[in-house]
Structure 1
């Protein structure tokens, strides 16, 4: 099975969010910090489909899992 190396920009695009570096920086500034006891996909900043994608990416240890972890760290 081939592993894909996804970028943070790709993740934002996949989530249907603006995905330039500046857009990502703005998003993180607007939404951090997420409380430490809140799982990323349960934060109230996501639509249902975004939350589902984030949860599934982690639960399945999908190709996206590493970059989802990076986003999680950025929002803490």
Structure 2
């Protein structure tokens, strides 16, 4: 069982994305603002595995859920 603390960097790593602070910021800036009508896992920039991971994290309120919610908020800002 993984008991290491989760960070935005580990979330991006889990999603198979570049995980430096600069790369995370660039990803967020590239994809925001995410329209309110689109659920985070339904955004067209995720692949199937990424969307599934995000949807499952939200659905089961996993230990990733807080970071997924934070990412969702960051992608909604103008």
What TM-score results when the alignment is normalised by the length of structure 2? 0.91
Q: Report the Cα offset of residue 5 of structure 1.
A: 3.3
Count of residue correspondences: 75
User: What is the aligned partner in structure 2 of residue 22 from structure 1?
Assistant: 22
Q: 1:40 and 1:50 mapped to 2: Cα distance?
A: 11
Cα deviation, 1:26-53, whole Å, max 9, x if unaligned, reads 0001000110011000000100000000
**Which segments of structure 1 move beyond 4 Å, counting only runs of 4 or more?**
none
Any unmatched runs of 5+ in structure 1? none
User: What is the aligned partner in structure 1 of residue 67 from structure 2?
Assistant: 67
Any unmatched runs of 5+ in structure 2? none
Q: 1:46 and 1:13 mapped to 2: Cα distance?
A: 14
